[in-house]
Structure formats: structure tokens, C-alpha cells
């Protein structure tokens, strides 16, 4: 086991930021911490790294107790925090070289690692650029290169794609998967459910400092009753038709806004088939039809009663 947290509690006065957190991260996985802003993700990470004192709990990394002085543990950890942390007075190359030098003293080895990190994040054309000349997406990539250049065994990324363009976001996510394939264990925090669903092998959902649920994305979706959402573009909907859809065996909710009919169903078979059969047999004029299975937002909504990004 790479990270083991038991009964972690962190308070700020009367506010309980992390409430009795248990967490286990296995070697070789991408472990996602998913939750809205203020849910306790960053606080939990800072406690794991011994950057914050906590009120109760036990934390082990690589099987050893974590502490502010545990440098033998910290040398094998790469950290990419939410706030970009680079030196504006140094170029891209110099920044990565500096952070790599905190762990690697041999100059020839460090030069090789810095070049590999630059190539990995796609900053080869920007080596001599200063941070202020980089776009937000490129700056995020630099931040990642500084955190992973020394080839750590454990990489912790706290909201690394906030405020970046879609192209840079995809590049960052692809890079995280590649780091994992190359042997790194990853802890990834985000409030973007699509990202966590895309790259994480296991996911923990947090809200108000508490663990809501933990498991693979498939296991999390099995925890809720919602099975399918069908959206039908239809320009006229009579009450008799609405009543039919509302009384379908697996129907959870049916809403019509004058243009789109949105139907949510519990787990079951042939919901879409029944809807199409009815629409065609009653000659209802419809346009697009779209069906989707539950998302992690649906899991969060059913368990907590609110949207993930509230």
C-alpha cells in the first residue's frame, strides 16, 4: 500500500474541514478525490504531505509514518499543487532544473531528467521562455514538469487543470495516464467529474470533509437507483402522452420544457425501446433522441441531494 490514512480529522476552529477520513491508495493506481470546492480535498492532501498539522489520525506513506521531517519519504513524492508554484525570474529550463535539483544532485543525470520532463509536457519550443510569457495551459504544464522531473514513485496532483484551455487539459490528462503507465502511483483531486471518470481507477467522493462513497466508477454508479436518462426532442406533448411516460414501470421523473422531454429511469431493461415504440405508434413528431447512463454527478446528486458543482 502506498498511502494509508486512518481517522484523519482536521479542524479550523469550529469548522471540521476533514471529518474522520479513511483512505487507502494501492500501488500502481490513479486514485481520484472528487468533490466540490471546499469539500476538503486540498486539506486532506496537505495533511498527507505533513504540510498541515491535524487534530487526529494516522498517516503512512510507503508503509512508514509521515512527518514533516520524513525526507526519505518525501524524495519519492512529486507534488503539483493547485496554485502554480514556479520562479518568474527563471526560464522554463531553469525552473525544472531547480526543482529537479532538490532531489537529484548529479548534474549529468539531472540534465537528462530535465530534458525528459520538458519533452514529456511538450515544452521543447519554450525552454528559454520566462513564465510570464507562457499561456495558462503552458504554465500548468511547466508546473507539472517541475513536480515530476525527478521520477517520483507517488505523484499528487491537486486540481491541475483549473482554468486551462481544452487542448492543454487533454494534454495534461494524457500525460497523467502516461506517468501511471510508466510506474507512478497517482492521487488526483478534481471537481470535474468527467476528468476523474476518464482517468481514475478508483474514486473517493468527498463532501463537507466527509467520505460520501468510494469505489470504481462502475461500483459507484451501482450504488444509486438511477439507471438511464433519455432525452427526446419533441415540439408538442399532449397530457395523455406525458401520463404514459410518467407511469412507465421504471420511470423516476419526466419533465418537458416545450422542446425537450427528459425521462429518468431506475435500472431496468428496454426503457428506450418502450419510449420509441410509443412515440412511433402514436405518430409523435420528434427530432433528436439521446440516451445516457448515470454519471458521477448523478451519484453525488442522489446521495447528497445537490449537484456536484454547487
CA of residue 59 relative to chain centroid, distance: 22
Are 188 and 32 a contacting pair, CB within 8 Å?
A: yes
**Number of helical H runs and strand E runs in the chain:** 11, 14
Per residue in 180-233, pLDDT (tens digit) is 999 999 999 998 889 999 999 999 999 999 999 999 999 999 898 888 899 999
> Which has the closest alpha carbon to 266: 224, 232, 296, 216?
224
Q: What per-residue confidence (pLDDT) applies to 304?
A: 84
Rg of the chain in Å (alpha carbons): 24
Q: What per-residue confidence (pLDDT) applies to 268?
A: 67
Per residue in 138-147, pLDDT (tens digit) is 999 999 999 9
Per residue in 114-141, pLDDT (tens digit) is 999 999 999 999 999 999 999 988 999 9
Rounded to whole angstroms, what are the CA distances from 113 to 89, 149, 154?
A: 21, 6, 17
Beta strands in 100-201 (DSSP E): 154-158, 185-190
Q: Would the pTM count as exceeding 0.75?
A: yes
Domains of the chain, CATH where assigned: 3-221 (3.40.50.300), 225-293 (3.30.70.980)
User: Residue 37's pLDDT band (boundaries 50, 70, 90)?
Assistant: confident
pLDDT at 300 over 80: yes
Amino acid at each position: 500500500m502506498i498511502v494509508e490514512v486512518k481517522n484523519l480529522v482536521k479542524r479550523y476552529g469550529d469548522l471540521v474541514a476533514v471529518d474522520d477520513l479513511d483512505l487507502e491508495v494501492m500501488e500502481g493506481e490513479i486514485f481520484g478525490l472528487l468533490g466540490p470546492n471546499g469539500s476538503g480535498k486540498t486539506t486532506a492532501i496537505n495533511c498527507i504531505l505533513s504540510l498541515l498539522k491535524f487534530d487526529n489520525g494516522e498517516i503512512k506513506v510507503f508503509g512508514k509514518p509521515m512527518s514533516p521531517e520524513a525526507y526519505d519519504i518525501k524524495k519519492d513524492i512529486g507534488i503539483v499543487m493547485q496554485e502554480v508554484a514556479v520562479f518568474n525570474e527563471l526560464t522554463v529550463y531553469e525552473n525544472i532544473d531547480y526543482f529537479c535539483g532538490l532531489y537529484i544532485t548529479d548534474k549529468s543525470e539531472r540534465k537528462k531528467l530535465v530534458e525528459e520532463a520538458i519533452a514529456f509536457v511538450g515544452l521543447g519550443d519554450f525552454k528559454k521562455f520566462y513564465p510570464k510569457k507562457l499561456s495558462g495551459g503552458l504554465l500548468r504544464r511547466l508546473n507539472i514538469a517541475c513536480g515530476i522531473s525527478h521520477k517520483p514513485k507517488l505523484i499528487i496532483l491537486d486540481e491541475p487543470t483549473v482554468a486551462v484551455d481544452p487542448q492543454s487539459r487533454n494534454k495534461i490528462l494524457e500525460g497523467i495516464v502516461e506517468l501511471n503507465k510508466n510506474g507512478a502511483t497517482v492521487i488526483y483531486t478534481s471537481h470535474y467529474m468527467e476528468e476523474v471518470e476518464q482517468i481514475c481507477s478508483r474514486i473517493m467522493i468527498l463532501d463537507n470533509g466527509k467520505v460520501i462513497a468510494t469505489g470504481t466508477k462502475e461500483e459507484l454508479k451501482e450504488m444509486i437507483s438511477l439507471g438511464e436518462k433519455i432525452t427526446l426532442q419533441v415540439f408538442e406533448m399532449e397530457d395523455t402522452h406525458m401520463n404514459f411516460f410518467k407511469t412507465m414501470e421504471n420511470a423516476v421523473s419526466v419533465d418537458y420544457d416545450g422542446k425537450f422531454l427528459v425521462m429518468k429511469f431506475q435500472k431496468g431493461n428496454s426503457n428506450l425501446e418502450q419510449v420509441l415504440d410509443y412515440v412511433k405508434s402514436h405518430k409523435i413528431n420528434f427530432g433528436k433522441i439521446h440516451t445516457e447512463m448515470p454519471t458521477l454527478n448523478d451519484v453525488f446528486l442522489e446521495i447528497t441531494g445537490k449537484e456536484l458543482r454547487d
